[in-house]
Amino acid sequence: MNKRIDINRVKDIAFKYFGICCTLFGLIMLAVFLLSVLKEGLPRLNWQFFSSFPSRKPEEAGILICLLGTIWIMVLTAFIAVPLGVASGIYLEEYGKKSKFASFIEINITNLAGVPSIIYGLLALEIFVRILGLGKSLLAGSLTLSLLILPIIIVATREAVKAVPGSIRDASYALGATKWETVWFQILPASSGGIITGVILAISRAIGETAPLIVIGAMLYITTVPTSPMDDFSVLPIQIFNWLSRPQKGFIINATAAIIVLLAITFIMNGIAIHLRNRWQRKVKW
Amino acid sequence: MLCAAVSILTTLGILWVLISESSMFFARVPLSEFLFDTQWTPLFADKHFGILPLVTGTLLTSFIAVFVALPIGLSIAIYLNEYAPRSFRKTIKPILEILAAIPTVVYGYFALMVITPALQNIFPDMAGFNALSPGIVMGIMIIPMISSLSEDALYAVPKSLREASYGMGATRLQTSFKVLVPAASSGIIVSIILAISRAVGETMIVAIAAGQQPRLTFNPFVPVETITTYIVQVSLGDVVQGSLEYQTIFAAGVALFLLTFLLNNISYFIKKKFQEKYE
């Protein structure tokens, strides 16, 4: 009998270390990835790399155009997706509660969140590029990405609004505020931390997204700086994909350097989001 | 406030686009050929339209990914939930979630430039493009998904069950596998299904590292092509709008959409059905 207890104890301890190993495995992989990228790409990061146009020669090529493309996409997508997503989230949580329509939308959003991004590309190819005639423009690209991140923003908004206690609502109504005033002056400010966190995470997802933009036909090789939403564009992930699919060593190094830039943007945005989330969680005490 | 309707419009748009374009495809290619032909060569002179090679490619890479992610992800979940000190758990979770935030094109680079050469040292006759290395990298990508959803499920198991088990003198391992995992099984299954669905829809990793040769095989060492890779491959080329080649990507899209839609709904169903078992 004692022996069996001992065996179970040993198994228990063994699993503890196995668990530690598994957790470390994830972390080590992350570290290996980051170190290999930094080792390969860091020497390539210089001013010339940031300020040059694409080129046939790897040592003259740069990421200026796709970096600008990424920034354009970021801003346009935010302008389109944030109002829509936040409004939908508030509607679902504050106005449409428990109506049939709302529960239908809810199932719908859950489903949309699970649709692979490349399907959004197909949708956009047909509707934005062909039927609306937007071509392979920045606007078409950001509309595509907006649809893609809409479910994320809606869910984040709903969670944030849900966390606002009912007493705030009741107090506002008791003072004679209308529903709109309550939402605008009480609920939105109180839930802004959570909403902003969700929005930042959603946008950082959008700028890393490649597949749907390839499907709508974003350019692999353009030589003009995009100046309006109707211009052709390229973004960082597409440039990375393009460089990776070439045989020359120089382009692979370029891709690595561009990956560092992309990762830096993603990590900074995620860092801000996590920081805001922590601060918001600490601050909210009703 | 009818902004919410946008989400419905999106769904309708997706359905409409997929159905209208693929109906034109199926008007030219019989459904039986699409489902049962074993070759997929729409870009060659000798055209075959059998989706099977693409489906096996997709399933192969997804299966490898889950095979990697499930044991690791679940062990992490159990470890963090039952063994790890609170502070460790609090710091480790966000770090693991970084894995989920890395853009997929970056993972593609890792698969091609780091994992494949490493694997070639072990299996010298492995091709430069193969299903194994993107599968493994995809697995690493979905680890945080499985670990964090499963951990939430384990955490939600009522304390009384856990304490009853410890009260009987069970070790943490016995409690975890004989009480907590069965009690949280619905949540864990949901996390696995969602992870599979994510792996099936994953595009860039396989497009970069798995090659572009549709073939009906379950051999992880040779190049394969997934549904998503095919769509990317066609989009990169100059395919005339309205041509048969153009319509094939929508037909492939339908197959992909149905696959993920099915998986997502199974998980939604499980979640709804078993949600409040212990309350």
Per the model's pLDDT, the better-predicted residue between B122 and A231 turns out to be: B122
Which tens digits make up the pLDDT trace of B154-164? 888 888 888 88
Which tens digits make up the pLDDT trace of B28-85? 777 777 676 666 766 666 666 777 778 888 888 888 888 888 888 888 888 888 888 8
Instruction: Determine the pLDDT at residue A117.
Output: 85
Q: Which of A107, A116, A125 sits opposite B201 (nearest CB)?
A: A116
How much is the ipTM here?
0.80
Mean pLDDT for all residues in chain B: 79
Share of residues in chain B with pLDDT > 90 (%): 0
Instruction: Determine the pLDDT at residue A208.
Output: 82
DSSP string, B38-69: S-B-TTSSS--B-SHHHHHHHHHHHHHHHHHH
Rounded Cα–Cα distance for residues A237 and B173 (Å):
43
Rounded Cα–Cα distance for residues A180 and B102 (Å):
39
Mean pLDDT of the B5-29 span: 76
3-state SS class at A232: strand
Instruction: Name residues 33-52 of chain B within 8 A of A (Cβ).
Output: none
Q: Which residues of A201-227 are buried (b: 16+ CB within 10 A; e: fewer)?
A: bbbbbbbbbbbbbbbbbbbbebeeebe
B258 pLDDT higher than 80: yes
Which tens digits make up the pLDDT trace of A57-98? 766 677 777 888 888 888 888 888 888 888 888 888 877 666
Instruction: Determine the pLDDT at residue B279.
Output: 46
B97 pLDDT higher than 50: yes
B278 pLDDT higher than 60: no
Instruction: Name residues 144-163 of chain A within 8 A of B (Cβ).
Output: 147, 150-151, 154
Token pair of B228, please? 């998503």
Distance in Å, alpha carbon of B87 to nearest chain A alpha carbon: 14
Instruction: Determine the pLDDT at residue A20.
Output: 85
Instruction: Name residues 126-145 of chain B within 8 A of A (Cβ).
Output: 140, 143-144
Whether the Cβ atoms of residue B111 and residue B209 lie closer than 8 Å to each other: yes
Token pair of B239, please? 């395919």
Rounded Cα–Cα distance for residues B197 and B69 (Å):
13
Taking an 8 Å cut-off on Cβ atoms, the answer to whether B194 and A208 are in contact is no
Q: Which residues of chain A have pLDDT under 50?
A: none
B203 pLDDT higher than 70: yes
C-beta atoms surrounding A100 within 10 Å: 8
Taking an 8 Å cut-off on Cβ atoms, the answer to whether A33 and B114 are in contact is yes
Owner of token pair 């529960």: A103
B2 pLDDT higher than 70: no
Going by pLDDT thresholds of 50, 70 and 90, the confidence category of residue B253 is confident
Distance in Å, alpha carbon of B29 to nearest chain A alpha carbon: 20
Residue A81's nearest CA partner among A156, A185, A133 is A156
Owner of token pair 């909403």: A195
Rounded Cα–Cα distance for residues B155 and A278 (Å):
21
- Closest residue of B to A129, CA-based? B241
Output the pTM of the full model.
Answer: 0.81
Sequence-separated (6 or more) residues with CB below 8 Å from residue B101: A201, A204, A205, A208, A266, A267, A270
Whether the Cβ atoms of residue A211 and residue A117 lie closer than 8 Å to each other: yes
